[in-house]
């Protein structure tokens, strides 16, 4: 015969009421199948299980409706938006552009519209799209731009913002400019000065 589990060695099975808080004793039958010592062990096991059950029920009730993804009370998602983002929002018009130390009118009148990481350009009705990223905590402040021109074209840049005047210096290579202002001669950078569009 197979060994009989202790939980089943008396009267076929334990009274189910033994697992409920109101149970006070085991309902045993077929005397002599289990020894008195085994019966004591059984009672201790059931009692330990009952204590554990009573301890876990309040915790289960308290945790009902909550998930691991729930944020702590009073706290929402962390806002990682740059504090200067709102100041940059809107449409800006290029009033001056310079490259390699020479002023050029190629970009004059072109519009840049900044909106939550997305960039739109408009040059005499010819529109383009892209994205940007700023870091106003850096020195100088960082403004990196990626334009979709037959594929994404990324430019590292720095900027300064003074009320309604935005100055951007974009690198001509993969090296970020060290300053916003100053001559662009021989460094391949673009220097752009923009004014906020007047409505």
Q: What is the CATH number of the domain that holds 172?
A: 2.40.128.20
Q: Is the predicted pLDDT of residue 92 greater than 70, yes or no? A: yes
**Looking at residue 21, what is its pLDDT?**
43
Establish if 128 belongs to a structural domain: yes
Q: Do residues 191 and 97 touch, judged by C-beta distance below 8 A?
A: yes
Q: Is the domain of 103 the same as that of 172?
A: yes
Residues 6+ apart with CB under 8 A from 2: none
Q: Is the domain of 92 the same as that of 187?
A: yes
Q: Is the domain of 89 the same as that of 180?
A: yes
Establish if 68 belongs to a structural domain: no
Q: Is the predicted pLDDT of residue 82 greater than 50, yes or no? A: yes
Q: Is the domain of 155 the same as that of 116?
A: yes
Q: Is the domain of 121 the same as that of 39?
A: no
Of 144, 196, 140, 121, the residue nearest 165 (C-alpha): 196
Q: Is the domain of 140 the same as that of 187?
A: yes
For the chain, what is the domain count? 2
Q: Is the domain of 26 the same as that of 123?
A: no
Establish if 90 belongs to a structural domain: yes
User: pLDDT-based confidence at 160, cuts 50/70/90?
Assistant: very high
Q: Is the domain of 47 the same as that of 110?
A: no
What confidence tens digit (pLDDT) does each residue in 34-53 have?
455 555 555 666 555 555 55
Residues 6+ apart with CB under 8 A from 119: 112, 113, 129, 130, 131, 132, 145, 146, 147
Establish if 23 belongs to a structural domain: yes
Q: Is the domain of 114 the same as that of 38?
A: no
Q: Is the domain of 112 the same as that of 165?
A: yes
Domain of 146? 85-196
Report which secondary-structure segment, H or E, holds 51. helix 36-62
Q: Is the domain of 148 the same as that of 102?
A: yes
Cα-to-chain-centroid distance, residue 154: 24
Q: Is 188 exposed, middle or buried (0-12, 13-18, 19+ CB in 10 A)?
A: middle
Compute the half-sphere exposure of residue 47: CA atoms within 13 Å on the CB side of its CA: 8
């Amino acid at each position: 015969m197979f060994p009989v589990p202790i939980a089943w060695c008396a009267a076929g099975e334990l009274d189910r009421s033994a697992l409920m808080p109101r149970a006070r004793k085991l309902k045993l039958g077929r005397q002599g199948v289990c020894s008195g010592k085994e019966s004591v062990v059984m009672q201790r096991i059931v009692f330990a299980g009952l204590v554990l059950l009573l301890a876990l029920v309040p915790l289960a009730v308290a945790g009902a409706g909550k998930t691991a993804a729930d944020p702590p009370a009073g706290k929402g998602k962390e806002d990682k938006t740059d504090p200067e983002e709102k100041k940059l929002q809107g449409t800006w018009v290029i009033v001056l552009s310079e490259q390699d130390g020479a002023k050029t009118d190629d970009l004059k009148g072109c519009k840049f519209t900044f909106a939550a990481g997305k960039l739109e350009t408009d040059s005499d009705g010819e529109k383009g799209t892209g994205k940007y990223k700023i870091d106003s905590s850096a020195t100088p402040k960082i403004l990196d731009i990626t334009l979709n021109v037959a594929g994404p074209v990324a430019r590292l840049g720095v900027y300064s913002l003074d009320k309604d005047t935005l100055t951007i210096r974009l690198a001509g290579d993969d090296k970020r400019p060290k300053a916003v202002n100053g001559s662009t001669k021989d460094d391949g950078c673009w220097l752009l000065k923009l004014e906020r569009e007047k409505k």
